Homo-oligomer: A and B are copies of this chain.
């Protein structure tokens, strides 16, 4: 994890210049008593929503970096997350670092032991299990709605995405392949007009993603994914929602829990709940 210190703004003049001007006018204290405090803040106008001009805050940068590092397993489950170290790496104070860490806690990617330490969260097996179920359920309704709503241009756009994914598979670029994979599913969600549900899908995907990264790249898996995506899209193009849902389920069911991963290879990365994971216990 290599970071560059967040560039601070140029040396700010602060309020000095203004203060000098005030002194020059020679009318400071008089005005202070005359002015009345401004009224309570009014809410933004209806329909306009909050302004979207929010500049990227330092905490956002730290959050994004950490998030990526954790999802890619660059930071392994159980690894300590030292606030102090992060403040030095990014050249910011603890406040924005803390903010980022708290958001990661909310995401279930980080756990904090009060007054003791903060650590990259281990992966509860039950969470992966549930994430697979939840994702299937959400992608199902999404692809169904998308089939009914998708335009011809959308279908063409998705064919292009699949084509690109094919090219990435041929090139063996796994990272780009997964980006295209993401784009395909995102496109379905966009066609369905379900941005919120897409957000939920992404959240549960993250939990599975950490698990998936541990499985060695299976030979021949990338071309297979392309075929599965094509099958989904063909059904969508034909306007057959039931078929599209079925193809999507077949696609998603390919990713199954491989118990050897956490039993033999990385037992420290997972936590097992005796009651929630009782079935897995039985099959052991």
Contact = CB atoms under 8 A, between A and B. Distances in A.
A80 B49 contact: no
Contact of A196 (B131, B141, B271): B131
> How many chain copies?
2
A133 B141 contact: yes
Contacts of A264: none
Interface stretch (A3-11, A122-130, A164-172): A122-130
Interface residues of A, number: 54
A21 interface: no
Contacts of A200: 134, 200, 204
Interface in A173-197: 193-197
Contacts of A50: 111-113, 119
B43 A119 contact: yes
A46 interface: yes
A223 interface: no
A91 interface: no
Contact of A46 (B43, B99, B194, B267): B267
A40 B116 CA distance: 11
Contact of A140 (B127, B137, B193): B137
A164 to B, nearest CB: 25
Given A42-B80, A46-B267, A134-B141, 8 more contacts: A43-B119, A46-B78, A47-B271, A51-B116, A133-B197, A193-B275, A193-B276, A195-B276
24 contacts: A41-B116, A43-B80, A44-B113, A46-B122, A46-B267, A46-B268, A47-B271, A49-B111, A50-B119, A51-B113, A54-B114, A55-B114, A102-B103, A126-B195, A130-B196, A130-B197, A131-B196, A133-B145, A133-B194, A134-B197, A136-B141, A137-B138, A138-B138, A193-B276
Interface of A: 40-44, 46-47, 49-51, 54-55, 57, 78-80, 82, 99, 102-103, 106, 111-114, 116-117, 119, 122, 126-127, 130-131, 133-134, 136-138, 140-141, 145, 193-197, 200, 204, 267-268, 271-272, 275-276
